[in-house]
Amino acid sequence: MRKFFVGLGVTVLIIVGVGFGLSVWTKNSTSTTAQVVDLLNPFVREETVYVKTTRQYDHHFRDSADGTTNYAYNTTSYNAQGKPRQLQYTAFGRKVRAGHYLKITTKGQDVRQWAAVSWNEIPSKAQDHLK
């Protein structure tokens, strides 16, 4: 019985260690793999970050469902405390207008949603980096 609990404890420690290790590995990676890992990792929390849009997109691709062109942007985002993180978000069917601000809800590198916001809606510590 003791061996069972020791084995169970070791298994739990390995799972927790792998979960936290993966969240560190995906922190500034904009790859699809990082997005999927963060989506599935229970140790990664949702967070709101802010970006200033640019004209330059990273790549574009044709949507297989309706044939529209989608645009992927790699950018530096900032949370409410002003902490930076690399992030990729996608504009579906259109390019974003440069010089605007977005509020993005993420779970690690997985973008849940984004919306345009005004300058006054951005926390002051994030504003310091987005000027």
For 80-104, the pLDDT digits (tens) are 999 999 999 999 889 999 999 999 9
CB-count burial class (<10 Å; 0-12, 13-18, 19+) for 131: exposed
pLDDT, one tens digit per residue, over 8-33 is 776 777 776 666 666 665 677 777 88
pTM for this structure?
0.79
**What proportion of the chain, given as a percentage, has pLDDT over 90?**
50
Domain residue ranges in the chain: 2-130
CATH of 2-130 among 3.30.70.120, 1.10.287.1080, 1.10.287.1060, 2.40.50.480: 2.40.50.480
